[in-house]
Structure 1
């Protein structure tokens, strides 16, 4: 019996317009009635997730910044910040890669260089709030804890950014590719999957009682700790191989449809209660 569900956001739970399914509030209420825990696991930062979910956020567990920050209702957030020297080293390397823009993701704010072109800024706005454009040199002086460094390359991170980042930092840090234009750098051992495993231990839930949904490489670690692991139909083929099942695409409301099918919930009843 399912006791824990963890879902990615972009390309998974959210539709093509970055909106929640209309049935989500009613589904959340039904899961709460059945004593099933729902965790939102995203590369997005805390402020963006809280803004998107509004009042519903009070009932959810958030695995933010790919696991670098975990928030549970009524508990203090747990976060893992990068060492200052690592931040300087990444900034130094990015300064030699003109198409790779570093985005420093703090607990409260987001920072990126003011010389980023409009296309990059528009891409950052799709996923982040509370951001500050600053001179590149000011990135070195950021005072608040930095939980992860997101790297944006509009030509594609897998081909143009990942090789150099992985060569320099791959053995010391977690460096998942999280989208066509994005990859992230976090402390070693900090992943969505590690956060889900911590929840399993805390709640006394086994992988056989866990369902996960994802669409990109930063979701693979979640798929590996759940018997009910789903990759979205829109996920790349190499990601789908890590999941035990395939869910309909995010544009087809695949997460809600799959949860309803597995748990025996009628979609029509959710629509009536929205």
Structure 2
């Protein structure tokens, strides 16, 4: 089957990463082979840019990343696009989340800036979750005092987020994008921010079409990204809405499904 794929956008958790949360070792041999063919391999994640760069080590310097669910796109260390939240909105949303905490919701809030991420809650259980996704992380007395441009507000819900805090954000969702990005995570961004919008901007910058784009995802924050790629893949354990939206299926991340599918798309890579 002839292909002309030039861009591969890949979610991280539940998609590319293995069961221990690591980049699968065979990827390091695949990346230069894709580059030789003129194919851009682009991690697209709710994770922070610094965390993505840490995951890809020495290879990160020349890579393109869609970070913070599309709010921040950087290529070879240079910003391609960003979409920051107005301070007034940040103050209103953080105030609402603090109120939910007072009402019994067990939440941890991460203010995601360009330079770093910021948290007020410092107990070990929450810090362990935050440190997994935010390599640049500061514990502060008041996240609203952080001197940074805010790309996203992330919420860790110790309950199931889709059934808990996500349902308490209807008013926020009237003006901003509220997306369940994992079993326990919800992200709040500007209304026009998502991985798909970021991927489309990147397609324009690289002069790549949707027909030349493959995308892999497993959760609700991947839906728009899959829509932007003709070669859209849902992982085997993907959320039912993702399975319904994607055109194709990929094996489990536990079986290196992204890599085996790329091998099928590029048998001579």
Residues in 2 aligned to 1:35 and 1:90: alpha-carbon distance in whole angstroms: 42
1:195 aligns with 2:195: no
Structure 2: give runs of 5+ residues left out of the alignment.
none
Structure 2 residue 155 is matched with structure 1 residue 151: yes
Query: What is the SS of the residue equivalent to 1:151?
Result: strand
Q: Would you say the 8 A contact 2:211–2:231 is kept in 1?
A: yes
Matched, 1:91 2:98: no
Which position in structure 2 is the counterpart of 1:160?
A: 164
Contact 2:17–2:24, Cα closer than 8 Å, also in 1: yes
Say whether 1:226 aligns with 2:233. no
- The answer to whether the 8 A contact 2:117-2:138 is kept is yes
C-alpha deviations, 1:175-223, integer Å up to 9, x for none?
Answer: 1100000010111211110111111122221111110001110000011
For residues 33-70 of structure 1, the C-alpha deviation after alignment (integer angstroms, 9 at most, x for no partner) is 11111111011111111111111012211001011110
State the alpha-carbon separation in 2 of the partners of residues 249 and 104 from structure 1: 31
The answer (yes or no) to whether the contact 1:94–1:101 under 8 Å persists in 2 is no
Question: Counterpart of 1:239?
Answer: 242
* Whole-Å separation in 1 of the counterparts to 2:146 and 2:180: 24
**Contact in 2 for aligned 1:12/1:213 (Cα 8 Å):** yes
Q: Counterparts of 1:49-64 in structure 2 under 5 Å?
A: 49-64=52-67
State how far apart, in whole Å, the 1-side matches of 2:77 and 2:54 are: 18
The question of 1:112 aligning with 2:86 is answered no
* Cα pair distance change 1:131/1:74, threshold 3 Å: closer
The aligned residue for residue 256 of structure 1 is: 259
Q: If the length of structure 1 is used for normalisation, what is the TM-score?
A: 0.92
Q: Which residue of 2 aligns with 1:122?
A: 128
User: In 2, Cα distance between the equivalents of 1:97 and 1:261?
Assistant: 48
How many angstroms apart in 2 are the aligned matches of 1:245 and 1:78?
29
Contact map agreement 2:7 2:41 (CA 8 A) in 1: yes
Cα shift readout 1:242-268 (whole Å, capped 9, x = no counterpart) = 1001101111100000000111147xx
The range that moved more, 51-60 or 4-13, is: 51-60
Q: For residue 74 of structure 1, report the CA deviation from its aligned partner.
A: 5.7
Q: Is the 8 A contact 2:62 2:77 kept in 1?
A: no
Gaps of 5+ in 1: 267-274
Matched with 1:272 is: none
Counterparts of 1:44 and 1:162, CA distance in 2: 19
Name the TM-score, length of structure 2 as normaliser: 0.94
Q: Residue 79 in 1 paired to residue 86 in 2? A: no
Q: Distance in 2 between matches of 1:265 and 1:113?
A: 50
Paired residue for 1:68, among 71, 75, 78?
71
Q: What is the Cα-based RMSD across aligned positions, in Å?
A: 1.3
